[in-house]
């Protein structure tokens, strides 16, 4: 049985930290997996940890921020074991986080999903929420609908090299790790993603998606009825899903201390 905990990133116990580092090492190529995980744990507030029994099988770093009065759900580093039993964990994490977030705000007030992705699958998971999106790989000539707020949000989250097209050059290399081999996508959105980045998965995309609950949530949930989690799920307080684990923290850039590179994004591996 797979269970999911939402935990404070900075206070992971050693078995959990080691388990997350093991999953990371199985998902990415990195010389020092533990060091990378520690960097993210210092920079990102919370982490979803999925377990099968006592073993960590997947994770998703996450934080909630306010940028110029707008609520931003920042999806950061994620990974899972290659075992087919754990396929779809990232979508499950996203569903839980979105459900938890929208219960805290009026349904007519938008929230924004944001993160750097280096994977067509990760992009599809974010894009599936609906609403305005940038970059929109299916309409590459479409103008950025968020204006200067898009760049402000990127800077707030420590993404300082994003281009006007949303590209974050050499993202993986700069952070010191790389994606493992991934087959060419068969889905049209995945193909459009690869076209947008010219096939270079090292170049991340800083993606922002608007979610207006009253408009976008019903079709999003209806499309995922078979996948709504049926396994036990709890947050770091033991509260049921939808209850806030903590008050919103003051805005702070996601930039590790000293000379380390900023650790942000949706550099998920599947």
11-40 average pLDDT score: 91
| Secondary structure class of 33 (helix, strand, coil) | helix
> 242: left (phi > 0), else alpha (psi -120 to 50), else beta?
left
Whether 239 has a pLDDT exceeding 70, the answer reads no
Whether 19 has a pLDDT exceeding 60, the answer reads yes
In order of 60, 76, 86, 100, 106, the CA distances from 131 in angstroms are 23, 20, 28, 18, 17
Dihedral of CA atoms 174, 180, 181, 184 in degrees, nearest 10, equals: -70
Judged by average pLDDT, the poorest of 2-6, 67-71, 196-200, 245-249 is 245-249
The confidence score (pLDDT) of residue 193 equals: 93
Q: What is the pLDDT of residues 158-207, one digit of tens each?
A: 898 899 999 998 777 777 677 766 667 778 898 999 999 988 888 889 99
Task: Tell me the average pLDDT of the chain.
Answer: 79
**Exposure b/e, 232-267, CB count within 10 A at least 16 = b:** ebebbeeeebeeebeeeeeeeebbbeeeeebbbbbb
The confidence score (pLDDT) of residue 244 equals: 27
The confidence score (pLDDT) of residue 71 equals: 92
Nearest-angstrom CA–CA distance, 264 and 204: 11
236-251 average pLDDT score: 30
In this prediction the pTM is: 0.76
Judged by average pLDDT, the poorest of 72-76, 94-98, 179-183, 237-241 is 237-241
- Kindly report the length of the chain: 270
Q: Cα–Cα–Cα angle for 261, 262, 266, nearest 5°? A: 125
Asked if residues 106 and 198 have their Cβ atoms less than 8 Å apart, the reply is no
Q: What is the pLDDT of residues 91-145, one digit of tens each?
A: 788 778 777 777 777 888 899 999 999 888 889 888 888 789 999 999 999 999 9
The single-letter DSSP state of residue 175 is H
Split at pLDDT 50, 70, 90, the class of 245 is: very low
């Amino acid at each position: 049985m797979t269970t999911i905990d939402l935990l404070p990133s900075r206070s992971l116990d050693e078995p959990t930290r080691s388990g997350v580092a093991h999953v990371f090492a199985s998902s990415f190529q990195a010389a020092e997996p533990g060091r990378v995980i520690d960097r993210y744990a210092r920079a990102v507030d919370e982490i979803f940890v999925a377990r099968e029994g006592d073993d960590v099988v997947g994770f998703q770093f996450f934080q909630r921020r306010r940028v110029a009065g707008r609520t931003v759900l920042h999806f950061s580093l994620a990974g899972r074991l290659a075992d087919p039993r754990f396929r779809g964990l990232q979508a499950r994490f996203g569903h839980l986080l979105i459900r938890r977030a929208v219960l805290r705000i009026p349904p007519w007030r938008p929230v924004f999903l944001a993160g750097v992705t280096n994977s067509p699958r990760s992009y599809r998971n974010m894009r599936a929420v609906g609403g305005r999106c940038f970059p929109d790989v299916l309409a590459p000539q479409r103008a950025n609908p968020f204006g200067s707020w898009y760049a402000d949000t990127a800077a707030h989250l420590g993404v300082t090299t994003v281009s006007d097209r949303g590209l974050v050059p050499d993202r993986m290399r700069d952070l010191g790790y790389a994606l493992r081999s991934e087959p060419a996508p068969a889905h049209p959105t995945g193909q459009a993603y690869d076209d947008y980045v010219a096939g270079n998965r090292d170049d991340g995309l800083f993606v922002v998606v608007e979610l207006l609950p009253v408009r976008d949530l019903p079709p999003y949930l209806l499309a995922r009825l078979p996948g709504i989690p049926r396994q036990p799920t709890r947050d770091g307080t033991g509260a049921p899903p939808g209850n806030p684990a903590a008050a919103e923290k003051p805005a702070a850039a996601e930039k590790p201390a000293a000379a380390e590179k900023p650790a942000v994004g949706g550099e998920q591996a599947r």
